[in-house]
Structure 1
Amino acid sequence: MSQSEKRSSVDLSHHLSDFAKTLPAIRPPGSNAGEGMIGMDGGVPDTEYFPIESITVEYLKPSAFPLKPTDVVPHGPGVLGWIANVLTGKGSKTTEASTGQFVIPRRLQPNDPSQFELKSALQYSAVTGLPAAEKTIHDWVARVHKPVCNDWTTLIDVGSSSGWMTCITILLNPGDSFLCDRYAYNGALMQARIRGMFPVAVASDTDGLSAVDLERVLANWDSKARGFERPRVIYTQGRHPEPQRSFDPCSAQEGFRYDLIIVEDDPYYFQQASLPYGSSAAPKKQTDEEWLDGLVPSFVRFDYQGRVIRLDTFSKSIGPGGRLGYFTGSPIFLDKLAVFNQGFIGFPSGVCQAVFGELLHRYETEGFTRWLRGITAQYELRRNWTIEALYKALDVRSTDNWSRSLTAFARADGQMSEKFTKTASLMSFVPPDGGMFIWFNIHLHNHPRYKDLARQSSPAAAKNQLSTELWTAVYDAGVTMRRGELFAVEDDEERAKAGEEDVFMRASFSSGPKESLEKGMQIFATTLVKFFQ
């Protein structure tokens, strides 16, 4: 879409919370000091007294990891140990392991290749971020997401968790509600609930939040029966929510129709696997540009009214310790987010902005894209290792001929309870097409004690008891997983009334060597079979 075809965002100020409406316009630090004036109003330390003279960063080149998930990268004592192994001939020959280096000086000199200096990075700065970092992020969003409003902007923040908290503060009042998937990120739910805000569950289908169910919920909303007004905000986790779902542009269209604001929280956006698990197709040969253009689009690419606030983070692409992320959206919302951050959170770390920003400057768009492709292939490889380990430990079969769902059974040579037939399934799951997690749907309805427990108490109580027993058994065996109930929007009774008899357990394949992932799945499978005895 050309610039002339783009439209400005519409006036959505009626969506601001009562608190947000009281926030003043953002005031840049030192705004009272004009040209040639002596600033004596703030307690700003003299940069001559900063003890750090320079920071030298050694970094991996964009091509450090291979593009094919079949190319095994050995694990050693950290990344630097891996690099040393490769450089000394002890590691894999399938990767190009080379490093670059840059220096962030105290002061930039003429013709200095660096974009950042410690004089600014160590000093108080604007809540909007260091200018060079701000420009780098804005240019990246323009290239990747291609927002269609002509007045869109970006704002650096301290990560997605803080970003969501800030969003609900400027959009919702205590007692308000918001729409989300039936299973959503537990941290986001907790932040909203402790502020007296209510999540409202919307069913999902294979394409994400169901536009049909979204229409049903909104069209039939009864404020008196519910106890609160119809939701004005949708919280969506984009490409890889909880459990695995995908993108559905129809949900965005419902947002326009019902005057909704969409908060798109998408930390795993770039981790989109090249192929579904088990595919026999050869990976498609793509340039970095083609790969970037082939990513599932963000809602901001369809948002011609300024209704979307997108949250991105560097946690999964560079490192979570940097506590850096960024918003994308219309000025009416991002200006309020900025002034809230200025008064309550503060500016993002200048040192982290300098290090991450200089890295992105050295990488440039092409290099950072190549880096993302490489680490995405590594997470795809880890996914494959994890699922292959389950195939070895259990009898895993395709559920049907049209979906990607897999169902796991005990192996024929196992000893099971008389109440449990070996033809009954233990669990099912959909191999993720990205992200860092596999969601296992544990078939509690097949457990030999489920019906008796449900009859003695209730289906919800039976589920909770058996789920607790399984999680505890897996934990005692030496493996930690996350209980799916922690992500549930509805309580046990509501889910039971909806006919949900099973429970989820979430396993991460994001870290650790191959041997640990395989051992973890072996322990989980063994414990699961024993649990059903």
Structure 2
Amino acid sequence: MTSATIPKAHDLSRHLNQLSRSRVASPLKDIIKYMKEPGMISLAGGLPHPSFFPFGEMRAKAYTPDVDLRSSEEPSSTIELTIPKSATPSHKNTLSTALQYGSSYGSTSLSSFIREFTSRVMVPAYSDFEILLHSGNTDAWNKVVNILCESGDYVLVEEHTYPSAQALWAPMGCRGVPISIDKDGMVPEALELVLKNWDRTHSGVKRPHLLYIVPVGHNPSGATLTLERKKAIYRICVEYDIIICEDDAYYFLQFPPYVLPSQRKPQNVETESSDVPNQKSAFDGQAYIESLVPTFLSLDVQGRVIRLDTFSKTLGPGNRLGYFVCNPIFAERILRATEVTTQAPSGLSQAFVEELLVSWGIEGYLTWLAGLRDCYTTRRNWMCDIIAENFDLIPSPENFVDDVVAVRKDHGSTKNTVPFFSFSFPKGGMFAWIKIYLSGSTTYQVMKETSLSHEIATAKWAEAFWMDLIKEKVLLTPGSYYTPIIGLNERMPQEPDVAFFRLAFSFETREEMKIGIARMTSVFERWW
């Protein structure tokens, strides 16, 4: 499809809430626009003079994009980044600009790089998409909620969803509509059923018009939507006029399938489980792009996807820097809200990220991203390997949706083996999600007999189990944190006799993982 035949975004302004419709441009930003006219002498804007900024020059040492991040030694392959106080003919990125009030769009040069990168990697399916910088995906989601949601609205979410995402809209009186997920992410048929039956199940209540979804390396489950599912979900959202918020912080951390150590071919053992996988002789950026599941943005011919991208998982969360990709109407309304709230992301963050990415170039950034993917793949493999060392992992029965069930080590061949938990091998992101089966726990049976309901018994058990893990000096994240809020002080009813916990493989070393999972194993064995 040529650029001449790519459609423009549809007019989706009907989705804007009353607050967003009421916003006007900040008059102070109009002043800045006129200050840039040639020959203008400004006695209007209260901008500090750059000579009063206490920084004369900033320098940083950065890695080259092809550095071997899996080496235990400090990388020696580096480049020097310099940001001077004032511009030179060859250097327009300056501290005078970075530390000054500026456009709420963010850096023009950085936005231009991102636009070119997005066009190549994400391949948006409509032509007039906008790039707008933000201060990380939580900031971005806050702005999405505040342009689209009215008090009391329903928001479509996965049945386990990112806690901070719903903490934004819950105080507004909004409610989550949980949609079933499995090891491949949101189930399209479940989404369609909810929307098809909405008028019957929620008579007189406005149908949801916003879907919040984490499609790659889902937090907390680690699931990644297939292209087929994305196509099905997009089709449903078009049919029912739903805006999709694609929160894709882990997009570049998509993993190849995990293979259990017992099932690996001998010649692949070193490659698949080694701390330092073999290096490719030459990097092929296009091949890396093609290895990634295409985004919702690439399917969006109408402009109904608001994509949230971030540098948090690729260049460091402390940068507090990311960007929207969305249609012009939504971008303009987000801009109006930004002008009177955050104004713009940190100028220093923009300057350093711009300097780094321009130095690397798009091919260099892709090289870096592919290297990160390999590092996190290794860490995913460490965690799954260590779980396999501590438990026997058997294929899941047909009534289980996960890849494997974990049982006591050396359990034998008895058919009555009691499962501890099941999980699926993460396909992306930073997390593994375990589903614990409580029926085999004697402690749970006692709690169940003395509790008013299985919900109370499950909650009491999960809290006590978590506290025991903490006493053993191993910390997991309780699954209850991810339960959707469906009403005032009300969460989605939980599946009986099960509990969930999230394990992160992103931070600890291999040896620390070994110690932590060994401690976790001892707690399981004690409670069963």
> Could you state the TM-score of these two structures normalised by the residue count of structure 1?
0.88
**1:285-304 correspondence runs (5 A):** 287-304=284-301
Number of the residue aligned with 1:274: 256
Match of 1:387 among 384, 397, 422: 384
CA contact (8 A) 2:243 2:304 kept: yes
Instruction: Sort the Cα spacing of 1:170 and 1:223 in 2 relative to 1 into closer, same or farther, 3 A.
Output: farther
Which residue matches 1:169?
A: 146
- Provide closer, same or farther for how the CA distance between residues 53 and 223 of structure 1 changes in structure 2, counting only shifts above 3 A: farther
Partner of 2:87: 108
Question: Could you tell me which amino acid in structure 2 is paired with residue 488 of structure 1?
Answer: T
Query: Does residue 53 in structure 1 map to residue 53 in structure 2?
Result: no
| Structure 2 counterparts to residues 49-448 of structure 1, below 5 A | 49-65=52-68, 73-74=71-72, 82-83=73-74, 97-110=76-89, 112=90, 114-222=91-199, 225=202, 228-241=205-218, 242-247=220-225, 248-249=229-230, 250-278=232-260, 280=264, 287-399=284-396, 405-412=403-410, 423-448=417-442
- Distance verdict in 2 for CA 1:336–1:407, change over 3 Å: same
The match for 1:19 is: 19
How far apart, CA to CA, are the structure 1 residues paired with 2:355 and 2:30? 24
Same amino acid, percent of matched pairs:
28
State the shift of 1:396 in Å. Answer: 2.2
* Alpha-carbon distance in 1 for matches of 2:62, 2:313: 16
Compute the displacement of 1:99 (Å). Answer: 0.7
Distance 2:444 2:143 in 1: 43
**1:527 has 2:523 as partner:** yes
SS in structure 2 opposite 1:345? Answer: coil
CA–CA distance in 1 between the matches of 2:374 and 2:30? 42
Q: Secondary structure at the match of 2:33?
A: coil
How far apart are 1:369 and its partner, in Å?
0.7
Letter in 2 for 1:486: Y
Deviation, 1:339, is: 1.1
| Distance (Å, rounded) in 2 between the aligned partners of 1:258 and 1:12 | 13
Residue matched to 2:466: 471
**Matched residue, 1:79:** none
Q: What's 1:77 paired with?
A: none
Evaluate the alpha carbon distance shift between residue 487 and residue 272 of structure 1 in structure 2; reply closer, same or farther with a 3 A threshold.
same
Does the CA-based 8 Å contact 2:15-2:148 persist in structure 1? yes
How far residue 221 of structure 1 moved from its aligned partner, in angstroms, is 0.9
Deviations 1:251-286, CA, capped at 9 Å, x for gaps? 111110001100010111100113434374868977
Give secondary structure in 1 for the equivalent of 2:45: coil
Greater displacement, 243-252 / 134-143: 243-252
The C-alpha deviation readout for 1:221-265, integer Å capped at 9, x for no partner, is: 138847742100000111122323222221111110001100010
Q: Indicate yes or no: 2:509 matched with 1:513.
A: yes
Q: Which residue of 2 aligns with 1:89?
A: none
Distance change in 2, residues 1:426/1:454 (3 Å): same
CA displacement at 1:443 relative to structure 2: 1.1
Question: In 2, distance between residues paired with 1:494 and 1:151?
Answer: 39
Greater Cα offset, 212-221 or 35-44: 35-44
Q: Please identify, of 401-410 and 356-365, the stretch whose mean Cα deviation from structure 2 is larger.
A: 401-410
Gaps of 5+ in 1: 67-71, 75-81, 87-96, 415-419
Q: How many residues align?
A: 499
> Deviation digits for residues 341-364 of structure 1, max 9, x if unmatched?
111122111111010111000111
- Residue 326 of structure 1 aligns to a residue in which SS? strand
SS at match of 2:435: strand
CA deviations on 1:162-215 (whole Å, 9 max, x unpaired) are 110110100011111110100000010111102221111111244422221111
More displaced stretch, 26-35 vs 451-460: 26-35
Which deviates further from its counterpart, 277-286 or 251-260? 277-286
8 Å CA contact 1:460–1:493 kept in 2: the answer is no
Relative to 1, partners in 2 of residues 1:413 and 1:149: Cα closer, same or farther, differing over 3 Å? closer
Post-superposition shift, 1:463?
0.7
Give the Å deviation of 1:143: 1.3
Measured against aligned partners, the alpha-carbon deviations of 1:126-152 in whole angstroms (never above 9, x if no partner) come to 110111111111111111101011111
Q: Is the 8 A contact 1:179 1:199 kept in 2?
A: yes
Contact kept, 8 Å, 2:217 with 2:250, in 1: the verdict is yes
Q: Which one is further off, 186-195 or 19-28?
A: 19-28
Deviations along 1:3-49, one digit per CA (max 9) or x if unpaired, are 12211111111100010000124645512434322111121011111
For residue 243 of structure 1, what is the amino acid of its counterpart? Answer: S
Structure 2: unaligned runs, 5 residues or longer? 272-277
Q: 1 CA distance for matches of 2:491 and 2:443? A: 19
Instruction: Give the alignment's Cα RMSD to 1 decimal.
Output: 2.5
Superposed displacement of residue 455, structure 1: 4.4
Q: Is the 8 A contact 2:442 2:527 kept in 1?
A: no
State the distance in 2 between where 1:471 and 1:226 align.
40
Aligned partner of 2:274 in structure 1 is none
Change (3 A) 1:109 1:31: closer
